[in-house]
Amino acid sequence: MGGTFDPIHYGHLVAAEEARHDFQLDLVLFVPSGQPPHKTDRAITAAKHRYLMTVLATLTNPHFAVSRVDIDRPGPSYTIDTIELLRQQYGPDEEYFFISGADAILELLTWKEPERLLGLCEFIAATRPGFPLTALSETVGQLGEQYGARVHVLTVPALAISSTDVRQRVASGRPIRYLVPETVLYYIEKNGLYRPRVPSPAEEAPPLEGRGDEFTADEAPADEVPAPAPSAARGDAP
């Protein structure tokens, strides 16, 4: 399962566990992306934090593991490159399934080398709450007819959780308990992730209200990397 995992949440974990069970997978590998090619509109939290939170969240499941394959190489994380590296690592004779949200599958043809990718692995499209199933089954049908794609739709228990919502909740002081594993919650707190940035004195901004003014500039997150400039090439990591 590829993703930004900024942060990992129970939506990811439930989808992964459901896929493991239904497809009798030996291992579900969580692959945090390095530099996401199309998430250029915001600063992505440093890979070390996203990786460690994913390790913490998956620790207690013997069938879950985390791969550094995307964060240890420079440049955008294209799924075709990730799958090829994993095939080198785990062997070409294994069967590979790429688990992702159904929304990502609708855009699959915009990914890098989609035809070759579709030949290298099967896809498990986890439906998210509110997702229009008719558009998905049409796309799945087309991908199958035109490219011989093997795409399976997996209905996961309704979990309207997204990393965006988790980040916004932290920023506004709302709870995230029961949306992310406790270990992830403590990691976020301990490292001051997703809190609003405190303006430097030079910016002479009025003091923040609520939780934000409890932190000094020194404690403000030093974990974010600037988002890369938007590029014309469409990336494909979720």
Residues that bind ligand ATP (CB under 6 A): 3-6, 11-12, 15, 100-101, 103-104, 126, 128, 156, 159, 161-164, 238
By C-beta, is 57 or 198 nearer to ligand ATP? 57
Give me the least distance between CB of 93 and ligand ATP, in Å please. Answer: 26
CA distances from 156 to 12, 121, 123, 160, 227 (A): 10, 21, 15, 11, 31
Give me the least distance between CB of 151 and ligand ATP, in Å please. Answer: 13
Give the three-class secondary structure for 134.
Answer: helix
By C-beta, is 160 or 205 nearer to ligand ATP? 160
Give me the least distance between CB of 70 and ligand ATP, in Å please. Answer: 12
145, 171 Cβ separation under 8 angstroms = no
Cα four-point dihedral sign 143, 149, 154, 159: negative
Q: Is 14 exposed, middle or buried (0-12, 13-18, 19+ CB in 10 A)?
A: middle
Cβ neighbours of 50 (radius 10 Å): 25
Give me the least distance between CB of 217 and ligand ATP, in Å please. Answer: 26
By C-beta, is 61 or 200 nearer to ligand ATP? 61
By C-beta, is 82 or 163 nearer to ligand ATP? 163
